[in-house]
A and B are shown apart, each in its own frame.
Chain A
């Protein structure tokens, strides 16, 4: 009788692990379907030499989803402390190094910082304020010259005086592991962080409709209202402990396909390995390598045959 119980438990465990493995294989990177194609939120500034290669066009063709045009685009940026934040902000600034077009394609930006990291909050705020200022100047100069388009334009139908540069917020999560925290209590704090990340990911940002936000034109009432997607379309990380937990949380949500978490355009992840990692991947990097959709490295030494790493050159000057 005891034998039978043991065998049954073993069988159950084996089936369970096979099922989990199969599910992971199904949702993780090489087999995950490509994103559904959608129009640029700011088509004036669409300039994409990289993604218009024939290969990518082929992959995107036939998947165009017109419903996605009625959704805001939502980018989640995980900031770490010190160096990680500095690199991430440099990367974001480089997105619009030429003309400000990089960040305007993401209509909501949410920055995640760890508890007590005031510096990162301030950097994100400074970045957004500078961007808003650049949009104001761009819109004003275009209006006086009568040139449409640009980084952001003001809605003509409303009294809204602010150009459409989107919205942003900062969210704080508990630290995964405090510096000098003992290893015994680390799992507990990681779990706390994971729960916070799960909650954060599944709570969409407030629909920006208040005064000064993206108000619909008064004449266009018949058009469907723009919606904020439930999950971030894209998570951008570069390796602090919080980022690891955040990607794990996204994987958990996609594993169970909780409220459409596994849709093609939800919770896609990009990991950018730190500039400081020249020859060996970091610990977060090694953990996240199989979990993220794209894994970018800044040094050629990290591109080995058969590995998923992609070389982008130094992008955090």
Chain B
């Protein structure tokens, strides 16, 4: 993946994963190839991502191997670990969870085809999502769903031609989602987790 002369920066940033999924049914080769373009990997690096994981579906292995070998990260000056798998029969929940923020992992990102199952899973787990509808599909009803959800501010509608822009949009959307404005008071409302409120009422304390 990277040449030996290419050393990791001294200050190791938090892990941050970008997970790309094309779904289980149809192939979506254009999304895989766009995600392995040098311009996109550079954009990922600029946004502080350290990992790119791709679910490339059945028959996508060859394309994935070719493109990821062809990527010269040393020349690009980036350090993004690239990995992939074809399909997980147990579903993608564990992969989506790995994107969520935890102790030394920063909140990552999911880039997905517009399948409603993935959209619902990502929304349920509250992970940032970019949806890229597959233009190769006939009569793609999934575009409709993606448009409505992006209009309502739940996700970013990404275009194959300009995926780096979708990264910027997603960052902005995430910031906006976190600071909702209360119509009545005009102040931002930061929702508190019920779990925190319960633990406060129990008096749980680390000190």
Contacts and interface: CB of A to CB of B under 8 A. Distances in A.
A37 B184 contact: no
A49 interface: yes
A305 B185 contact: yes
Given A300-B183, A312-B192, A36 B203 contact: yes
B191 A312 contact: yes
B207 interface: yes
A310 B184 contact: no
B201 A294 contact: yes
A51 B196 contact: yes
Contacts of B123: 317
Nearest to A34: B203
Q: State the majority secondary structure of interface residues on B.
A: mixed
Contact of B206 (A40, A63, A293): A40
Given A310-B192, A315-B194, A97 B125 contact: yes
B174 interface: no
A27 to B, nearest CB: 15
Interface size class on chain B is: 20 to 34
B29 interface: no
Contact of A48 (B125, B191, B196): B196
Interface in A81-100: 91, 94-95, 97-98
A234 B199 CA distance: 10
A52 interface: yes
Interface of B: 97, 100, 102, 123-125, 180, 182-185, 189, 191-207
15 contacts: A36-B203, A37-B205, A39-B204, A48-B206, A50-B197, A64-B207, A68-B203, A98-B102, A102-B195, A105-B204, A265-B202, A294-B197, A294-B201, A312-B192, A312-B193
